[in-house]
C-alpha cells in the first residue's frame, strides 16, 4: 500500500510539472483532466475500456463512476489516490508488526534464561 501511495503522489507531482510546463505561456495555470492525460499517453487503452464497458449499451459503471473521475484534474485524482493508499497502509501496517513479534517470541532471543 505504501508503494502505491508513494507512486500515486509521484504521478501527482509529474502531472503538476507537465501542466505547469504546458501552461507556461499563458497567464493562468491550466490543469488538464485525467481523461485528456490518459488519451495523450494511451488512447487505445482508454478506448478499449470504453468499448468493453459500453459494448452492450449504456453502462452505469462508465457513466456513473469512471466518467466523473476522468473529468477531474489529474493532480486531484492522483493526490486523492496517494492519500487513500497511504492512509490504508497506516491503518493496516501488514507484516512488519508480525515480524517484530515473531522475533521476540523466538527462544534464541529469550532473555529470561540468562
- pLDDT tens string 36-60: 888 888 889 888 988 888 887 777 8
| pLDDT 10s digits, 78-101 | 999 999 999 999 898 776 555 555
The reported pTM is 0.71
Contacts for 32-37: CB closer than 8 Å, 24+ residues apart: 32/73, 32/74, 33/70, 33/71, 33/72, 33/73, 33/74, 34/69, 34/70, 34/71, 34/72, 34/73, 34/74, 34/77, 35/70, 35/71, 37/74
Amino acid at each position: 500500500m505504501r508503494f502505491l501511495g508513494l507512486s500515486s503522489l509521484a504521478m501527482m507531482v509529474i502531472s503538476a510539472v507537465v501542466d505547469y510546463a504546458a501552461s507556461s505561456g499563458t497567464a493562468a495555470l491550466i490543469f488538464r483532466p485525467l481523461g485528456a492525460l490518459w488519451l495523450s499517453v494511451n488512447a487505445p487503452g482508454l478506448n478499449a475500456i470504453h468499448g468493453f464497458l459500453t459494448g452492450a449499451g449504456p453502462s452505469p459503471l462508465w457513466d456513473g463512476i469512471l466518467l466523473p473521475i476522468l473529468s477531474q484534474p489529474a493532480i486531484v485524482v492522483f493526490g486523492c489516490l496517494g492519500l487513500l493508499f497511504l492512509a490504508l497502509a497506516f491503518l493496516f501496517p501488514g507484516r512488519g508488526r508480525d515480524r517484530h513479534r515473531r522475533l521476540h517470541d523466538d527462544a534464541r532471543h529469550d532473555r529470561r534464561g540468562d
